[in-house]
Chains A and B, each alone.
Chain A
């Protein structure tokens, strides 16, 4: 086949597999992945983007809508935007990163306007750019990714990374699940933009987010950070998937008998809801939204109303049962540790962006909700793509470079019975869904859970690779399991309550823990304390 200049080269297409030669491989086709692919292509790289699902619909953003941390560049507005979050985040943020993310998000959002994103205007005709409609945004991002010359592989989940003899990332391999064969991409740099891990909880749009990128990065030696900030739960109708917690700030919350639950609220009182749910059903009713607010809600988030319109419930006048669905590290702030401004990880040639990368830099220990997360995806995507393209350029020719597969669990013959992905996924859910284990943490319960999770890991590691049809689910389950172990090991280490991490046995914030927790490892999970960047600067100045 012929290739237009700048496109990744398809090397062979023998029956049953397809191989590409690229400068940069991006794993994941949500906001972070598409921004990374576009920015790498703009820096002259030949780029392949592989998405587990369909680039344009997969990931937490596409199905939903999201606020964006878009702030006018006026210094006092920026200052207020940064200051307002520092206490919530337990003072673990990095101001230098917050400032550069604000600058970059402003630029990227304006870029979207130039590309034709239909931003609304307020009554005075001023454009409003602090919110994006997921389907609209991601449809546009797919189009721009293609126009940038990026080769998109849909329904092509990555299975494992390739590295060269020096441990430098050399590409990845994966499945083409609708074609029933495999892909391989030789690349000089790889961007992990596979999102966080929501443990198949059906929180809106997140069932593709099973920590896959974490697992394959860890297999190549990558490190994690802030994994204890991983216990985000979102409100949804008990029967449904639509999590739009913002709208519940107009809600009252009642118990079975219809009595108001004291302290229950979407913000600052969600833990009260979690405790109440352990005793019985909890009901919501958006009875504090006036007619005008109701109209704004309808046009802003049409999907919020699908579960109600289709079941004949008027959420403003009728109460309905709710639940809390685990959002894990999708709304948490932990992820792959990045070590410089280009979003490089600790593995040479490997970059991270979006929810897959730590968001502690701008959120500290608290969720970024939608808006910081969207800003982070745009910014880190841009930088990771640029960083990967630059790494590839400096590497020059790599012909004849040997590549080694780094995949482990689920991919190797272990001599045992085949890894049962679905059963393993359920076992992991049993450890991370319960509020008494994950939402409200305590040393004894965390320790017991970790013992069970470690045993599951030993079994999974000893298992045989399942057949091709079950392989993806097995790898997903293994990634969920690995994620849970980094989460809980980190949570056990932080003997205080800070940000979103709550310890029943240490209910107060304790400034002996004003540091970050690095974690990693597969067979042996480890953690270590890491000083804040600001503390490092202070030390260097002494």
Chain B
């Protein structure tokens, strides 16, 4: 489930509020609020769309988890999904790196 909107990174652009398919976030005067955490389906898409790498989705789908933001930053976990799918400048080549055709038919 979504656990963190990092106040240091977040610019209150509200993209996460728009893109979350299950409407987990609410807009505020500042950074968005995780208003309905239990509706999070753990699809990681808010994190993927966040241009500032301010969000972290824990892989635990059924219960909230305590997370240590400093440790996540230290481990460069924030934004790791964006980098892996090639949605940042330095990894753009990964957008066409799909090798599923080598895996099908197994």
Determine how close the nearest CB of chain A comes to the CB of B48; give it in whole angstroms. Answer: 6
Instruction: Give Cα A443–Cα B59 distance, bound, in whole angstroms.
Output: 38
Contact assessment for B21 and A59 in the assembled complex, using a CB-CB cutoff below 8 Å:
yes
Q: Which of A119, A136, A205, A302 contacts B81 (CB 8 A)?
A: A302
Known A133-B85, A205-B43; contact A54-B19, beta-carbon cutoff 8 A: yes
User: What is the chain B residue whose CB lies nearest that of A298?
Assistant: B84
- The yes or no answer to A315 lying at the interface (CB within 8 A) is no
Contact assessment for B59 and A63 in the assembled complex, using a CB-CB cutoff below 8 Å:
no
Known A136-B85, A177-B23; contact A296-B59, beta-carbon cutoff 8 A: no
Residues in chain A near residue B81, CB distance under 8 A: 302-303, 306
What are 10 A-B contacts with C-beta separation under 8 Å? Answer: A56-B19, A62-B45, A155-B18, A178-B23, A202-B62, A296-B103, A298-B84, A300-B100, A300-B103, A301-B100
Determine how close the nearest CB of chain B comes to the CB of A186; give it in whole angstroms. Answer: 26
Known A53-B23, A136-B85, A206-B41; contact A118-B95, beta-carbon cutoff 8 A: yes
Determine how close the nearest CB of chain B comes to the CB of A101; give it in whole angstroms. Answer: 18
- The yes or no answer to B20 lying at the interface (CB within 8 A) is yes
Determine how close the nearest CB of chain A comes to the CB of B67; give it in whole angstroms. Answer: 9
Classify chain A's interface size.
35 or more
- The yes or no answer to A423 lying at the interface (CB within 8 A) is no
Contact assessment for B100 and A239 in the assembled complex, using a CB-CB cutoff below 8 Å:
no
Instruction: Mark interface residues in A339-361 (1 if CB within 8 Å of B CB, else 0).
Output: 00000000000000000000000
Q: Which of B17, B42, B62, B87 contacts A178 (CB 8 A)?
A: B17
Residues in chain B near residue A239, CB distance under 8 A: 59-62
Residues of A that sit less than 8 Å from B by CB = 52-54, 56-59, 62-63, 65, 67, 118-122, 128, 130-131, 133, 135-136, 154-155, 177-178, 202, 204-208, 237, 239-242, 246-247, 249-250, 293, 295-303, 305-311
Instruction: Give Cα A65–Cα B48 distance, bound, in whole angstroms.
Output: 14
User: What is the chain A residue whose CB lies nearest that of B1?
Assistant: A241
Contact assessment for B49 and A57 in the assembled complex, using a CB-CB cutoff below 8 Å:
yes
Residues in chain A near residue B102, CB distance under 8 A: 293, 296
Residues in chain B near residue A67, CB distance under 8 A: 100, 104
Instruction: Mark interface residues in B30-67 (1 if CB within 8 Å of A CB, else 0).
Output: 00000000010111110011000000011111100000
Determine how close the nearest CB of chain A comes to the CB of B60; give it in whole angstroms. Answer: 5
Contact assessment for A241 and B20 in the assembled complex, using a CB-CB cutoff below 8 Å:
no
Q: Is the interface of A mostly helix, strand, loop or mixed?
A: loop
Instruction: Give Cα A77–Cα B59 distance, bound, in whole angstroms.
Output: 40
Chain B interface, number of residues (Cβ within 8 angstroms): 39
Instruction: Give Cα A128–Cα B105 distance, bound, in whole angstroms.
Output: 14
Determine how close the nearest CB of chain B comes to the CB of A310; give it in whole angstroms. Answer: 5
Q: Which of A53, A57, A120 contacts B97 (CB 8 A)?
A: A120
User: What is the chain B residue whose CB lies nearest that of A58?
Assistant: B21
- The yes or no answer to B13 lying at the interface (CB within 8 A) is no
Residues in chain A near residue B106, CB distance under 8 A: 246, 249-250
Q: Which of A154, A241, A305 contacts B61 (CB 8 A)?
A: A241
Determine how close the nearest CB of chain A comes to the CB of B44; give it in whole angstroms. Answer: 6
Contact assessment for B101 and A122 in the assembled complex, using a CB-CB cutoff below 8 Å:
yes
Instruction: Give Cα A446–Cα B23 distance, bound, in whole angstroms.
Output: 35
Determine how close the nearest CB of chain B comes to the CB of A479; give it in whole angstroms. Answer: 16
Q: Please give me the 4 A-B residue pairs with the lowest Cβ-Cβ distance, nearest first.
A: A53-B21, A302-B84, A58-B21, A307-B59
- The yes or no answer to B29 lying at the interface (CB within 8 A) is no
Residues in chain B near residue A120, CB distance under 8 A: 96-99, 101
Determine how close the nearest CB of chain A comes to the CB of B36; give it in whole angstroms. Answer: 11
Determine how close the nearest CB of chain A comes to the CB of B31; give it in whole angstroms. Answer: 17
- The yes or no answer to B22 lying at the interface (CB within 8 A) is yes
- The yes or no answer to B77 lying at the interface (CB within 8 A) is yes
Given A135-B48, A205-B43, output 19 extra A-B contacts at Cβ < 8 Å: A52-B21, A53-B21, A63-B45, A67-B100, A118-B95, A119-B96, A120-B98, A202-B42, A202-B61, A202-B62, A204-B42, A206-B41, A239-B61, A249-B106, A293-B102, A300-B98, A300-B100, A306-B81, A310-B77
- The yes or no answer to B94 lying at the interface (CB within 8 A) is yes
- The yes or no answer to B9 lying at the interface (CB within 8 A) is no
Contact assessment for A118 and B17 in the assembled complex, using a CB-CB cutoff below 8 Å:
no
Instruction: Give Cα A237–Cα B106 distance, bound, in whole angstroms.
Output: 21
Determine how close the nearest CB of chain B comes to the CB of A94; give it in whole angstroms. Answer: 24
Instruction: Give Cα A54–Cα B80 distance, bound, in whole angstroms.
Output: 23
Instruction: Give Cα A263–Cα B102 distance, bound, in whole angstroms.
Output: 25
